[in-house]
Amino acid sequence: MQDLIERLERLGRPRILLVGDFILDRYVYGDVERINPEAPVPVLKTVRSQAAVGGAGNVAAAAPAMGAQVACVGVIGNDAAGRELSRLLREAGARITGLARLDGRATSVKTRYVGLAQHRHQQQMLRVDEESPEPLDERAQAKLRSAVRDELAQADIVVLEDYNKGVLSDALTPQLIADAGAAGKGVLVDPAIVADYRRYRGATLLKPNRYEAALASGLHISDDASLAAAAQRLLEIADAQAVVISLDQEGMYLHPRGRPGRRIPHRRPRAVYDVTGAGDETLAVMAVAIASGWDYEQAIELANLAGGLEVEKFGFVPIRREELAAELRHLVGLRGSKLLSRQELAQELTRRRQRGETVVFTNGCFDLLHMGHVRYLRQARELGNCLVVAINSDDSVRRLKGPGRPVIGQEERGEMLGALECVDYVTIFDEDTPIPLLELLRPDILVKGGTTPQIVGQELVEDYGGKVRRLGVVEGSSTTQIINRVLNNSGGH
């Protein structure tokens, strides 16, 4: 693991040539508070909507977040959706000069309708697709092949992202792989849900998921033996150098040509919130790592971590290199990944709000964590999508509580709070009040315990439209009682 951290710190800025089906994802969020009296279906009252990249666009957004440079080759419609998708790709850091606008062909759009139970719990209810999936005509195929050839000299690796929307056809795909091979470039393929992988012949690496591998190999996958048999058959069909089969929460299965296969599991279990784009995230990370000279196993280790972080988020959210580094440090015990500086935290909360999440904030000394605190924090977390706990620094506690406090230092207090599943982020503030932190973070909900006589920052939060919640008194000894008992038992030390 330490070796992975050091490699990540030295990861360069490889150039990725990305070819595939670029899709515009739209999300329509609304409250569901009643059933349609005309039919037994929920009524969605629209609250807001947003657009995001989808399909190959997920890789185009994920790779720059890892520090890579991406050149996109594909087609979009000469329509409003195509213009919106182009803007989003540019904002993600991708280069789109290779995207051809075609008259008479609609940009692929997926619209997801998401219900908000109790105004916060997000659940996808329906997806509506608008697309033109027929194969490109010969003129459009020739234009794409020319664009790929123009980019090959500058590319470190080629990624084919096939959603079976007509771009990576049986005719064009082998030509692109042959062109990449002639230029000495490796080709990573995320295959479509198709039964015949002969279009991918000559690829360096195939990365299907379990269902796709079973369909293309014609074998039922249930154990390591069937995994090996399916992977071997895919290697033969596609004449590939390696097959990596995604196994969801079980990690990935790597089978290189001429060598035995092996499972590469996740480092730790994840709470799966939404699998949208997880495969694209892992493909992007693998491409960046392999293009930087990593071997397959090292690349899969990193991709597993990225995929695990991505499924904990709603919708597709690119994982930044800094997030992976923090996760790796957390796994080896160098630093709790939930303990952030206020500037790091502000950036995280901005991304959370862009996804429509509700930010809950509470603060305190939390000197000697006890069950009363835990119950209180669980109640606070239930009010939104993420909970921020701000703790007073050691100097701040001494000014407020006296020279004998705190009993536990700020780093240990932060680490213990971060170990709680209900706590998403921890930050330390040195001021006597959290008001400067509230001004920066602007949480949606400020929470304080029922015994707190005055809620510091209440007026500020209410001024910008946030809400203030006072939770009832929770069971358990008070912090003061526990500290006095500890000090008495230890002779006052």
Catalytic center residues: 280
3-state secondary structure of 304: helix
Q: Which amino acid is at 113?
A: Y
Pair 22, 57: CB distance under 8 Å: yes
First to last CA, the chain: 39
Q: How far apart are CA 325 and CA 344, in angstroms?
A: 14
Q: How far apart are CA 276 and CA 315, in angstroms?
A: 6
Q: Is residue 353 classed exposed, middle or buried when 0-12, 13-18 and 19+ CB atoms within 10 A define those classes?
A: middle
Pair 18, 56: CB distance under 8 Å: yes
Please provide the DSSP assignment of 165-223 as one string. Answer: SSSS-TTHHHHHHHHHHHTT-EEEEE--S-S--GGGTT-SEE--BHHHHHHHHT----S
Smallest CA-to-CA distance from 190 within 329, 366, 42, 59 is with 59
Smallest CA-to-CA distance from 261 within 226, 218, 286 is with 226
Smallest CA-to-CA distance from 358 within 381, 338, 390, 391 is with 381
